[in-house]
Structure formats: structure tokens, C-alpha cells
Amino acid sequence: MLAGKVLVAQGGGPTAVINQSLAGVVVEARKIPDVERVYGAFHGVRGIINEDFMDLTQETTHNLEEVANTPSSALGSTRDKPDRKYCNEIFQVMRAHEVTTFFYIGGNDSSDTIRIVAEEAAAANYRLKCIHIPKTIDNDLVVNDHCPGFPSAARYVASAFAGINLDNWSLPGVYIGVVMGRHAGFLTAASALGQKYPDDGPHLIYIPERDFETDQFLTDVKAAYDKWGRCVVAVSEGIHDKEGTPIITKLAESVERDAHGNVQLSGTGALADLLTDVVKKRLNLSRVRGDTFGYPQRSFLGCVSDVDQREAREVGEKAVQYARWREENGSVTIHRTGFYSVEYHLTPLEEIAGKTKTMPDEFIKPSGTGVTDAFRLYLRPLLGKGMPDAFRLRNYPVPKILSQQAAASE
């Protein structure tokens, strides 16, 4: 039974489709006669403890649909990681506002937050339904086949590398592109979907699921360069050495950490610059370029997968249905069936909260520097309709004249 006041919030990094989930919750909840109000909290749990609520019951359906198609978190987000005390404050605010149901759209940190809030409510004998709605470009939530937000970010990365590969073919050299991903290499691996012709880059892919060794990296780059006359490399920002030390910390003077204790990896070009420097100096190659793809990966206006949009919308809608018809709390999870469809389940919060999925071995080539066809088959349907394609001229060579004369006269 869903009734009274319901609250929705968004946590963690924005995605291209996180507002689809928000619209899914709001539009569906507003249909239910006993739902009195749908509140949105500004900037996640931070907005709850500050009582910064907006009344989404008063928003037009038309504008909600426009917002659904807009990337980034329309309610604002937060990196706060609530402890017990913080969660008790959240709970006090919810009780004061007579909130009956809490929907939190976010990744694994957010799922852990909602788990703690649910425990606090239970301990206080307050009847609060807590539903977690998945979202993360990292694709690292367990149980889920994949996570809303990832397919659109993967589409961006695949499209960027498809273009980069053409650019690098045109003006050959070494190119290193650094992609988001702390523990899971899914998004970096998506660069492989930019390949079409057999010699297309990325020729090498480095992910956090494998230890990074600079000497091996240089050997790999040299071999690819010797083979193709150029080399495009995709690298996860989270690559680390055998001891687990992020490669980026080997360079950075001071390391910034967030409330979750995570080292700041994005918003700096340091890793790409470190890797291009080592290639320039030790392989003595010219035209070595590095880019850090940065925030456009998750927020670029106009690069979105329609499959991702649809599923992000549905997990929001399903969350309301589960809150209405099911007794227990949980996380809405996505499960693949066939080729390609999905179904949704309500999974206990404890099974999701704070856990991290990484790429399974079957998706990674034995060399550790590329992906398998199993990964391509996994990712392709997620990218959606209308993926642009790259074409080449066919080469009908014209016989040389001068160089033949020169050879003949020697």
C-alpha cells in the first residue's frame, strides 16, 4: 500500500538518464489516489537533513517529460556518506514530514545509505518503505545485468573512440584516452565498440581488473605501433599496480579524497600526461597525444541510448509498483532475458549495498589488453538505435611513375 507523502532523491554522479528514473517515480506515484504529495529532496541526503524539499506534485507532466530527457541530476546530488548519526537526522526529518516511502536513485554508495536509513527506521519502529533505484555509469552494481546510465556513457565512449581512431589514422601516432572507472573497467572496455575495420583502434585497453605494469605497457604499445604504424590506447582512470596503488597517485603531488575515502581520479589530466610522457621518453616516438575524457562522458547533451532511456524510466516506475504492492524494502534490479529484453526484480538491499561488480574474466582477453566477443555481444544491444557508423575509401592504387624511373636509373 502506497499512501501519504513519498520522497525521492538522487545521489552520486549524474548520468544521461537519471532524470528518466525520477520522472518514472513522479509520474507513476502521482497516479495513485492515496499518494498525497511527491516530494523531491535537493542534493540527495544533504537536502533531507536540511529539509530542502520541493513539491513535485505541482510540476507539470509536460515539464517532467522534458526534464526526463535532460542529462544530470535535476534534483541535484551529493557525495555525503551518511553514518548512523547522519541517518538518524534523515529519519527525524522524514518522521516530521510524515514521509511514508523513500526512493533513492543512485549507485553502490547510495544503496548503502538507503540500507542504513531503512535500518534506523526499523529500529525506531517507524513504518518507512525504502526502495533503491539503480544508476551508475560504472556499471558496477552487483546482481544487475547492467545499470541505467552505463549504456549512454558507453555510447559516448564508443563514439569518441570511433572518431579518435579515424583521427589517429589520418595523422598517425600514439593516442591515449583516459576513461572513467575506478574499480570496474566496463566503460573503458566500451571503447572496443568503436572498432569496425580489423586494424581499427583502440589497439590496447587497460582496465582496473588487471594490474598495470609500465614496462609491459611500453612493450604492448611498441608492438602495436610496429604492427599498425600507429596506436590508440584506452585506459581506465583506476588502473593500479600489483600492490593496488593507483597509477595516478604515483604522479600527483597531493591526493584528494571524498567522504567515501575515494581518491579523486576525474577532473585532472594527470594520468594521460604521465602515460604520454613515459611513451615519448622511453619509446622515443613522436606525436604522442593523451586526452582525459572527463565529465562529458556522463553529461554530454545529446548522446544517449534509447534502450538506456527506456530502462531508466522503467526502474523508476517499477520502484513505485514495488512500493505499492510489496511489503519488503529492496533495490530494483535489471535482469537480461533473451537477445535482447530485460525483466525487473526487487532484490534485498543487503545484497546490493556497498558491493562492487567488476568485469568477469570471460569479457577480458587472456592478454588483459582487449575484450572478447562475449563482451561485444553483451554491450551491443545496450547502445541503442542509430549508432553512427564509420566508412573508409577503398584503395585502388595508382602506379608510381617517378619512383620507378628513379629505381630504373640507379
From 21, 77, 113, 369, residue interacting with a copy of itself (rule: CB under 8 A): 77
5 with 40: CB under 8 angstroms? no
Scanning the structure block, which residue is given the C-alpha cell 619512383?
403
> Taking CB under 8 A as the criterion, which residues in 170-229 touch a copy of itself?
170-171, 175, 177, 194
Q: Which residues are within 8 A (CB) of 7 and not within 5 positions of it... i.e. 6 or more apart?
A: 38, 39, 40, 41, 48, 53, 94, 97, 99, 101, 102, 103
**Chain centre distance of CA 337:** 22
Q: Using the rule CB under 8 A, which residue among 73, 108, 329, 331 binds a copy of itself? A: 73
Fill in the per-residue mask, 126 to 165: x = in contact with a copy of itself (CB under 8 A), - = not in contact.
---------------------------------xx-xxx-
Contact between 393 and a copy of itself per CB under 8 A: yes
62: number of Cβ within 10 Å: 8
CA 376 vs CA 35, 48, 194, 195, 370: distances in Å: 43, 41, 11, 11, 11
Sheet with 231-236, side-by-side order of all strands: 204-206, 231-236, 174-179, 288-292
* CA nearest to 223, candidates 203, 243, 241: 203
Q: What are phi and psi of 306, to 5 degrees?
A: -65, -30
| Binder of a copy of itself out of 403, 408, 409, 410 (CB under 8 A) | 403
Choose, by CB under 8 A, the member of 244, 257, 362, 401 that binds a copy of itself: 401
| Binders of a copy of itself in range 370-389 (CB under 8 A) | 387-389
Min dist. Cβ of residue 157 to a copy of itself (A) = 10
Catalytic annotation, pick one of 138, 140, 200, 220 = 138
Q: Residue 212 Cβ, how far from a copy of itself at the closest point, in Å?
A: 19
DSSP string covering 293-339? --THHHH-TT---HHHHHHHHHHHHHHHHHHHH-SS-EEEEEEEETT
CB 24 within 8 A of CB 320: yes
CB of 309 to a copy of itself, least distance (A): 13
Report CA dihedral (24, 26, 32, 34) to the nearest 10 degrees. 150
- Quick note: the x/- pattern for a copy of itself over 309-348, rule CB under 8 A, is ----------------------------------------
Let me know if 138 is a catalytic residue.
Answer: yes
Shortest Cβ 288–a copy of itself spacing (Å): 7
Give the footprint of a copy of itself on residues 33-62 (CB under 8 A).
37, 39-40, 43, 50-51, 53-56, 58-59
Closest by Cα among 132, 147, 203 to 348: 132
**Residue 262 interacts with a copy of itself (CB under 8 A)?**
no
Kindly state the helix (H) or strand (E) to which residue 345 belongs, with its residue range.
strand 341-347
- Indicate the Cα dihedral angle 377, 381, 383, 385, nearest 10°: 140
Q: Is 96 in the site for a copy of itself (CB under 8 A)?
A: yes
Q: Which is nearer to a copy of itself, 59 or 145 (CB)?
A: 59
Region binding a copy of itself by CB under 8 A among candidate stretches 66-74, 139-147, 182-190, 216-224: 66-74
**In the complex, minimum distance from the CB of residue 171 to a copy of itself, in angstroms, rounded to a whole number:** 5
Rounded Cα distance between 1 and 100, Å, is 10
Sign of CA dihedral 151, 152, 155, 161: negative
| Nearer residue to a copy of itself within complex by CB, 57 or 372 | 57
Comparing CB distances to a copy of itself, the nearer of 79 and 355 is 79
71 binds a copy of itself (CB under 8 A): yes
Q: How far is the CB of 172 from a copy of itself (least distance, A)?
A: 8
Beta strands in 191-312 (DSSP E): 204-206, 231-236, 288-292
- Chosen residue from 24, 202, 238, 290 binding a copy of itself by CB under 8 A: 290
30 touches a copy of itself by CB under 8 A? no
Does residue 360 bind a copy of itself (CB under 8 A)? no
State which of residues 86, 293, 322, 378 lies at the interface with a copy of itself (CB under 8 A).
293
The vertex-30 CA angle with 22 and 12, nearest 5°, equals 15
Q: Is 102 or 363 the residue whose CB approaches a copy of itself more closely?
A: 102
Residue 124's CB: how many other CB atoms inside 10 A? 13
Comparing CB distances to a copy of itself, the nearer of 63 and 356 is: 63
- List residues with catalytic annotation: 138
